[in-house]
A and B are shown apart, each in its own frame.
Chain A
Amino acid sequence: MSELTGSYDVLVAGGGNAALCAAITAREAGASVLLVEHAPRAFRGGNSRHTRNFRIMHAAPTATLTEAYAEDEYWDDLRRVTDGETDEALARLTIRSSGPALAWMESRGVRFQPSLTGTLSLSRTNAFFLGGGKALLNAYYRAAERLGVVIVYDAEVQDVRLRAGAVDSVVIESGGRTMRPRVKTVVVAAGGFQANIDWLRQYWGAAADNFLIRGTPYAKGRVLRNLLDQDVMPIGDPTQCHAVAIDARAPKFDGGIVTRLDVIPFSIVVNREARRFYDEGEDLWPKRYAIWGRLIAQQPDQIAYAITDAKALTLFMPSMYPAITGATIDEIAGKLALDRATLGETVRAYNAAVRPGRFSDKILDDCRTDGLAPPKSHWAQRIDAPPYVAYPLRPGITFTYLGVKVDERARVVMRNGERAKNLFAAGEIMAGNILGRGYLAGFGMTIGTVFGCIAGREAATYARW
């Protein structure tokens, strides 16, 4: 690993979208760049591997985007989902930079396509990567290699040692050996800590053991912890994470998109005690799917079961796991190891409460329950058409909100308010500055791209100066 003992203008910690944008930008500006990716080559790219689009401001239709999406509407969307947990200056900078980013991305090999089927609501606001996030990463890695960025896999940045508000040294572990390359500046783009179960346990207790992590197992938050322990200013609620309901049969890590389940609005959801606990039809699914991870995390054993019948089978996107089916609710209870009597009573009470209405999965319809607690406000249909269908659900963690505070030049801010001289941050490790809570599809990639490019440019400028 002689690469790790060399001398570089810029060290980039991380190997996802933001890291690549930073590395490419810095290298194009003439800096020598070392990119250190914790994952092996096959799993390179962090959570960007699982992404598929990029939220982009645009004034007119493009080859793959419909209509227009102006700055103020974009900003309104962000303000609404974050409930104001955002930094308007940084947010508007990100939004304004997203438009020109498209051409930048394309000229580095990223390809786009019209929005995916089933995501038509995003065709106006989001540009979809042809082949998804891994295809984007492949393009960036190829561009970086062509430019002469030195890329090292299977290597973890363990310590970015600060002294007097500047990076003094960097410690990298690779293959059991510790190495200290000489670097003038550092860009940290090493992600959040959602794959660090011990860390999650600090806030969630033993429940964290039952969380499934939807993305990379390499997002351990090592660099984040390291910086926060050295008087870097934190940002974002450390206890919060983006959690959705995914199939409980998904692997512990890296299950990605195919484990998600969109069946909840057309089901009843019961907990381990075979009792319902929340209104499954509260609002349109795109507005509600992100609350279900938390809801299930608060149930005993962090497990829940969506139960419905044959009528619902074609109403939602297929998931990779087959439905658990049964000719009777009793059989379903047996297969799910739920109390038969209780589940029978839950379904009976629900069915009795369902009011007649005109069912439509496209709108907030008038199919609801009456006198049931909790109610089901929409899409409530009797569960009475065998085969009965069930899916087990667990919280699937997408990302965490805790990060390091940055300014508009991607400089890391210290607790005393000063900027670290030669330390920049991009991607999930600083996304909490802008997306302090909630979720906006494709916005993580926008933050990563915009701040990756800013961090790369600033790092190269600093190194040259």
Chain B
Amino acid sequence: MRDGDATDEARRDMEICNACRYCEGYCAVFPAMELRREFSNADLSYLANLCHDCRGCFYACQYAPPHEFNINLPQAFARLRVESYREYAWPDSLAALFRRNGVIVALVVAFALAGVLLLTSGLQAPSAVYGPHTGTGAFYAVIPLGVMIAAGLATFGYAVLALAMGYARFWRDTAAGLKQRVNLSVWRRALGAAATLRNLSGGGFGCNDRNESFSGIRRWLHHAMFYGFVACFAATCVATVYHHVLGWVAPYPVFSVPVVLGTVGGIGLLVGTTGLLILKIVRDPVSGARELLGADVALLLLLAAVAATGLLLLALRDGAAMGVLLAVHLGFVLALFLVLPYGKFVHGIYRLGALVHSAAEAAPARGERTIE
């Protein structure tokens, strides 16, 4: 799975960093590094996925290029992460989807959009697609509810399964030597670190998001995106309860819980993804794996498209454009579900695994740490 170069480079970097340790205040990577004297391939996978690419260590590094030691840890870890995504992908046969991932995501989007539009216009009467609908069940006149639920459950369910398998593979490989137990308190700390992106705080003073100067912008944009996504997901869940438990059928009023959650979430997603895209373009290109750029941009664009079409659908749902907009929106959502386990989204799964690992091994007091 690995070509060796990225692993060798990450190992070389870690051996130099471990003799220096000036950066240990930045994030969880360095305390984890200090617990080791040698770095197995599994250790490096773990550390690479623990790295949040805040780049504090790069700008602070006395050995950064053009120094002959040529240390660029965020870059080395980014390259290794891409390889680890292939290594832990489930099933093995689909690991290749992480190569040229931007193109693949784009193709999936194209096919999903075309498929939903073709099926909708092919199977439904033109008046159902192009005519205005208002009132209860308007959406389902365009795409039947049963179809929506079936397609949604099938694709999202598969995504959850594939991501869970990926997590299990990552954990089996990287935490094989973990001595500490993973108890509730470990999970609490790991989830806390994930939810707050504590490791994107640069030791409390911000990260090198754009350049040598410090900011918290990337952290907040990611929060907007992530919690936007969560709010949209929550909107769907509430709507499901409304429909199946309470018997209230969509569309819901503007000030209903699902619509407010969806609107706020959609705006968060749009702001977050757009901001992160801009940041990707304007930031100093000192780190980040070229192989991952396509995947990065593709997922951000896809999330932005889901959010934008969702908001547009809300704004224009009473007009004649609703039918086509709904089909387009659901086309993007379908594509998103399909690429979840085979795109940049997986970084969150392995990052969480790495944070759990880090929380577990950081548990003993400083003096009790054993050096392996």
- Nearest residue (CB) in B for A322 is B15
On whether the beta carbons of A113 and B203 are closer than 8 Å, the reply is: yes
Residue of B nearest to A113 (CB): B25
Give the Cβ gap from A146 to chain B, nearest Cβ, in Å.
10
Are the CB atoms of A130 and B25 closer together than 8 Å? Answer: yes
Which of A49, A142, A314, A317 has a CB less than 8 Å from the CB of B62?
A49
Select the stretch in A76-84, A250-258, A373-381, A456-464 that faces chain B.
A250-258
| Cβ contact within 8 Å between B22 and A111 | no
Give residues of chain B (16-41) contacting chain A, Cβ–Cβ below 8 Å: 16, 18-26, 31, 34, 37
A116, B16: Cβ atoms closer than 8 Å = no
Q: Which of A94-102, A133-141, A271-279, A334-342 lies at the interface with chain B?
A: A133-141
Q: Is B8's CB within 8 Å of the partner chain A?
A: no
> Are A42 and B19 interface neighbours, CB within 8 A?
no
Query: Is A319 at the interface (CB under 8 A from chain B)?
Result: yes
Partner of B22, one of A43, A114, A116, A254: A116
In the assembly, what is the distance between CA of A257 and CA of B18, in Å? 11
Nearest-Cβ distance from residue B358 to partner chain A, whole angstroms = 16
Contacting pair B16 A111 (CB below 8 A): no
Task: Report whether A130 and B66 are in contact in the complex, using a CB–CB cutoff of 8 Å.
Answer: no
Q: Which of A114, A116, A251, A318 contacts B19 (CB 8 A)?
A: A318
In chain B between 101 and 150, which residues have their CB closer than 8 angstroms to a CB of chain A?
A: none
Q: Which residues of chain B are within 8 angstroms of A132 by Cβ–Cβ distance?
A: 20, 22-23, 60, 62
Mask of B326-353 contacts with A, CB within 8 angstroms, 1/0 = 0000000000000000000000000000
Report how far A260 CA is from B23 CA in the complex, Å.
Answer: 17
B371 proximal to A (CB < 8 A): yes
B56 part of interface (Cβ distance < 8 Å): yes
**Bound CA span A259–B67, Å:** 14
Given contacts A52-B22, A117-B366, A131-B57, whether A256 and B371 have CB atoms under 8 Å apart is no
Asked if B25 contacts A133 (CB within 8 A), the reply is: no
* Residue among A43, A138, A251, A313 with most chain B CB within 10 A: A138
**Given A138-B212, A320-B16, A130 contacting B68 (CB threshold 8 A):** no
Question: Which of B19, B56, B66 is close to A320, meaning CB atoms less than 8 Å apart?
Answer: B19
Do B15 and A320 have beta carbons less than 8 Å apart? Answer: yes
CB distance from B366 to the nearest CB of A (A): 7
Interface residue A222 (Cβ < 8 Å from any Cβ of B): no
Q: Say whether B205 faces chain A, with CB atoms less than 8 Å apart.
A: yes
B37: which A residues are within 8 A, CB to CB? 313-314, 318
Q: Are B63 and A114 in contact (CB under 8 A)?
A: no
CA distance A129 to B371 in the complex (A): 25
- Centre residue among A49, A113, A118 by max chain B CB count within 10 A: A113
Is the CB of A50 closer than 8 A to any CB of chain B?
Answer: yes
User: In the assembled complex, how far is the CB of residue A264 from the closest CB belonging to chain B, in whole angstroms?
Assistant: 16
Contact, CB under 8 Å: B60 / A142? no
Pairwise interchain contact A138-B203, C-beta atoms closer than 8 A: no
Chain A, interface size: which category?
35 or more
Contact B24 A117 (CB under 8 A): yes
Instruction: Tell me which of A42, A50, A52, A111 contacts B203 (CB under 8 A).
Output: A111
A258 touches B63 (CB 8 A): yes
Closest B residue to A40 by CB, please name it: B66
Q: Does B59 contact A (CB under 8 A)?
A: yes
Query: B60 contacts which chain A residues (CB < 8 A)?
Result: 130-132, 134-135, 138
Q: A257 near B24 (CB under 8 angstroms)? A: no
| Inter-subunit contact B212/A116 (CB<8 Å) | no
Give chain B interface residues in 184-234, CB to chain A under 8 Å.
203, 205, 212-213
Which A25-66 residues have C-beta < 8 A from chain B?
Answer: 42-43, 49-50, 52
Within 8 A of A (CB), among B51-88: 56-57, 59-69
Majority secondary structure, B binding face: loop
Interface centre among B16, B62, B66, B366 (most CB of A within 10 A): B62
| Shortest Cβ gap from A334 to chain B (Å) | 25
Q: Which residue of A lies closest to B61 (CB)?
A: A134
Residues of B within 8 A of A260 (CB): 19
Cβ-neighbour of B59 out of A43, A50, A117, A135 (below 8 A) = A135
List the A side residues contacting B371 at CB < 8 Å: 314
Q: How far is the CA of A320 from the CA of B354 in the complex (A)?
A: 25
Q: What are the residues of chain B within 8 A of A135 when measuring CB–CB?
A: 56, 59-60
A270–B110 Cα distance when bound, in Å, is: 70
Q: How many whole Å from B210's CB to the nearest CB in chain A?
A: 13
- Residue of B at shortest CB range from A247? B19
CA distance in complex: A42, B62 (Å) = 9
Instruction: Evaluate contact between A111 and B62: CB separation under 8 angstroms.
Output: no
Digitize A406-445: 1 where CB-to-B-CB distance is under 8 Å, 0 elsewhere.
0000000000000000000000000000000000000000
- The answer to whether A317 and B25 touch across the interface, beta carbons within 8 angstroms, is no
Among residues of A, the one whose C-beta sits closest to the C-beta of B367 is A120
A319 touches B26 (CB 8 A): no
**Chain A residues positioned under 8 Å from B21 (CB to CB):** 116-118
- Knowing A117-B366, A142-B212, A256-B62, the reply to whether A131 touches B22 (Cβ < 8 A) is yes
Q: Mark A105-126, 1 if CB is under 8 A from B, else 0.
A: 0000001011011100000000
A42 neighbours in B (Cβ, 8 Å): 64-67
Which chain B residues lie closer than 8 Å to A113 at the CB level? 24-25, 203
- Cβ proximity bits A229-263 to B, threshold 8 Å, 1 near / 0 not: 00000000000000000000001001011111000
Interface string of A194-209 (1 = CB under 8 A from B): 0000000000000000
Q: Do the beta carbons of A133 and B62 come within 8 Å of each other? A: yes
Which interface residue of A50, A116, A254 has the most chain B CB atoms within 10 A? A116
Residues on B with beta carbons closer than 8 Å to the beta carbon of A318: 15, 18-19, 37
CB distance from B18 to the nearest CB of A (A): 5
User: With A and B bound together, what is the CA distance between A116 and B24 in angstroms?
Assistant: 7
Within 8 A of B (CB), among A277-323: 313-314, 317-320, 322
The CA of A259 and the CA of B64, in the complex, are separated in Å by 16
Bound-state Cα–Cα, A258 to B15, Å: 9
A138 with B59, Cβ < 8 A, contacts A117-B24, A130-B205 known: yes
In this complex, the member of A135, A138, A259, A320 whose beta carbon has the largest number of chain B beta carbons within 10 angstroms is A135
Write out the residue numbers on chain A whose beta carbons fall within 8 Å of the beta carbon of B64.
42
Contact status B67-A254, CB under 8 Å: yes
Q: In the complex the two chains form, is B22's CB within 8 Å of A317's CB?
A: no
Q: Which residues of B contact A129 (CB under 8 A)?
A: 22
Q: Quick one: which of B26, B56, B67 has the most chain A CB within 10 A?
A: B67
List 10 extra interface pairs beyond A113-B24, A129-B22, A131-B22, CB under 8 A.
A42-B64, A111-B205, A130-B26, A130-B205, A131-B203, A256-B62, A258-B69, A318-B19, A320-B69, A322-B15
Q: Which 6 A-B pairs have the closest CB atoms?
A: A131-B60, A132-B22, A113-B25, A135-B60, A258-B19, A320-B19
**25 residue pairs A–B, Cβ–Cβ below 8 Å:** A42-B66, A43-B67, A111-B203, A113-B25, A116-B24, A117-B34, A128-B25, A131-B22, A131-B23, A131-B56, A131-B60, A132-B60, A134-B59, A138-B212, A251-B68, A254-B67, A256-B62, A257-B20, A258-B19, A318-B18, A318-B37, A320-B15, A320-B16, A320-B19, A320-B69
